[in-house]
Amino acid sequence: MSTPLRRRWPLLALLLLLAFAFQGLRGLWDPDEGRYTAVALEMLDSGDWLHPRLHPELPHYTKPPLTYWALAASLGLFGRHEWAARLPNAIAFFCTALLVAGLARRLGMPAPEPAALVYATTVLPFAAANAVTTDTLLTLWETLAMWAFVAGWRTDLRHWPALCWLALGLAFLTKGPPGLLPLLALLLWLLHRRDYSRLGRLFSPVGLAVFAVTGLGWYLLVVQDTPGLLGYFLHKEVAGRILTAGHHRHGEWYGGLEVYVPTLVIGALPWWPLAWWYRRRHPASRETPEAIGPFLGYWFFVPLVVFMLARSRLPLYLLPLFVPLVLLLYRALAPGFVGGTGPGLRLALACALLLPLLRAAGAWLPAVADGRRFAARLAVWTNPDLHEVLFVDTKPRYSLRFYLDLPVEQVYWRHAPDAMRFRPPESLDRELRRDRYPRLLLAQPGDTPALE
């Protein structure tokens, strides 16, 4: 074993521990984990990987399909287990941490390898790796795109525009337009530097062609064979999230402060207090090139401003921004890792051992959102003859698709359906008249007399 590899295997072992340990202990939580997993299972059962569905009769186009494809592939290969559902994000988290170290190295930071451990032990990235959502996968692709750009900028990597646009295409196939926010940051930064030569190379014909195939191919296929889908994408999913509060995700004028300030303060623990302390002790210590700070600042603040202005706001939207945030913090933290000693390294080791234990302990805490426990409570009402589960005028628990192996559908009895969907739920009366097979109906207690 070579000396560099001997030096790095403890770091790799800690990253593997943080990424994969105890991923299958906790049940799937609704709504997000249940919904993403339900769509993946519909793909597996139907064989149709082109059109995402929550139910055989309900198309679901709120997100592009790459996350569903990754979930379906993992569940198909390893079986229907929570560990398999979370495996794609665990892999993405591990790879992102390695890219963070690669970025630190190419940006000229001292002791770059521990930057991966700092990222992996930061609260929000670590917590997000244990949740079945699009955000951890999106963070991987955005980080890969920026790594390709930095490799071309700092070391003249050949074909970096093609790799950058490939990663942006995968980001677009994961979450749509938000995946292009790093491109906006790059554009503004290059214009600020008046680096028109590199700007021209970034928008190379080969790179744009790679993006068109990777990022736009699926959209073109489904829009062509699904009437009304293009209007839904543009009106409900793009304009609706940016300009309106129709998705009911903290759309008030103060929503950005309410959601994102706590996300940054808590999510960046434990490292921002230590970085602040180091900066106060060594205010003049800057061992990285002067251009690095503005580059990371554009990467972090440009998307943050967009998220603050948009009317749909959730904490995990900021997850990709934790890569430049960690690198900004690591500029101050790096002296604590040089030579393999210092408080930074001791804190990283402590967090690397403690955080997986907290993940394991969290699996045993009671949670209303736990789909596995909810399914266990429903066992007394289930039987082999059941065809599907209907949620009447209440939010569906799509995790039952995973635990009961039954289609889950939302119908309405008295309340208006969600107008932001591509295809709103149908009425209970129409659902029951169309087919007369056994179903399990779930409703809020106050609605039960009406159903009887």
In the 8-state DSSP scheme, what is residue 28? Answer: P
The pLDDT value recorded for residue 3 is 44
Distance CA 91, CA 152 (A): 25
Which has the closest alpha carbon to 109: 288, 282, 297, 278? 288
- What pLDDT, on a 0 to 100 scale, did the predictor assign at position 401? 96
**Amino acid letter at 401?**
R
- Per-position pLDDT tens, the chain of length 452: 444 556 688 899 999 999 999 999 999 999 999 999 999 999 999 999 999 999 998 999 999 999 999 999 999 999 999 999 999 999 999 999 999 999 999 999 988 999 999 999 999 999 999 999 999 999 999 999 999 999 998 877 778 999 999 999 999 999 999 999 999 999 999 999 999 999 999 999 999 999 999 999 999 999 999 888 888 888 777 776 766 655 566 768 788 899 999 999 999 999 999 999 888 876 655 556 667 899 999 999 999 999 999 988 999 999 999 999 999 999 988 887 876 667 788 899 999 999 999 999 988 888 999 999 999 999 888 888 888 999 998 899 999 999 999 999 998 887 666 655 667 778 888 888 877 788 899 988 765 545 55
pLDDT at position 120 is 98
- What would the two tokens of residue 375 be? 């399914």
Contact between residue 390 and residue 370 where contact means Cβ atoms under 8 Å apart: no
Q: How far apart (Å, rounded) are the C-alpha atoms in residues 299 and 337? A: 24
Type of residue found at 44 = L
Q: What radius of gyration do the chain's Cα atoms show?
A: 23
Measured CA to CA, the distance from residue 55 to residue 64 in angstroms comes to 17
Measured CA distances, 20 to 12, 238, 269, 356, 386 (Å): 12, 34, 21, 9, 36
To the question of pTM greater than 0.85 for the whole model, the response is yes
For 440, the 3-state DSSP assignment is strand
Rounded CA separation 243/342 (Å): 48
